[in-house]
Structure 1
Amino acid sequence: MKVIVSKYLTPVGFRALTIYPFVILRNAKDAEDSVLINHEKIHLRQQLELLWVFFFVWYGVEFLVHWMRLNNKYAAYKAISFEKEAYQNEKDLHYLKRRSFWNFLCFY
């Protein structure tokens, strides 16, 4: 994992963006936030499991389906299975040690 700090590469309203192998943070102080970093590490694992490209295709399709269904971008984002897994387990700093392969499917 390589951390980059750039407010220009991170979408407005978000603190971080993960594109394997990079975690892009909006603010340098966020590098010290273990919960945020763990959330992004979960996304790194998800991206590895889906060979990066398939992660973003799946993520985009799931977002669009939820957006059409919910008619709310933020609610659609929170409904994505990858985000559900990351948010639910971000405070468990040992989660990745016992996480099953493709565990995000449990949140679909």
Structure 2
Amino acid sequence: MKVIYNRLIPFKGFKCINLFGVLFVREGCFMSKHDLNHEAIHTAQMRELGYLPFYLLYVMEWLWHLLREWDAKVAYYAISHEQEAYDNQNNPYYLKTRKPYNQWH
């Protein structure tokens, strides 16, 4: 996965954003091996779903949870793609054994 450190993307207050498998990291932020694994899991999700469907599903699920919870942070952590990534970011072998569409299992 390509990692680009810069001052513009993501917006101030955010550490990184994964856009189409390229990781944009805010200059001055440190990416741990767990952070990189988390983003690699998202890249695997994007590849199996297709990039645009991934982002559409991601935003739709976030909006659904936001309407139910009225809390952006709670809605973010409730997204199935994030749950899979957070649950497995500390396992360096996860992507070798990951089953397709595991974010919904």
- TM-score under structure 2 length normalisation: 0.93
Secondary structure of the structure 2 residue equivalent to 1:23: strand
Deviation beyond 4 Å, 4+ runs, structure 1 = none
In 1, Cα distance between equivalents of 2:3 and 2:33:
13
Q: Which runs of 5+ in 1 are unaligned?
A: none
User: Is the Cα–Cα contact under 8 Å of residues 9 and 16 in structure 2 kept in the other structure?
Assistant: no
Alignment match, 1:103: 102
Encode CA deviations 1:21-75: one digit per residue, 9 max, x unaligned.
Answer: 20111145524x1000000000000000111000000001000000000000000
Q: Which runs of 5+ in 2 are unaligned?
A: none
Secondary structure of the structure 2 residue equivalent to 1:46: helix
- TM-score under structure 1 length normalisation: 0.90
- The farther-off stretch of 8-17 and 55-64 is 8-17
Percentage of identical aligned residues: 34
User: Is the Cα–Cα contact under 8 Å of residues 10 and 25 in structure 1 kept in the other structure?
Assistant: yes
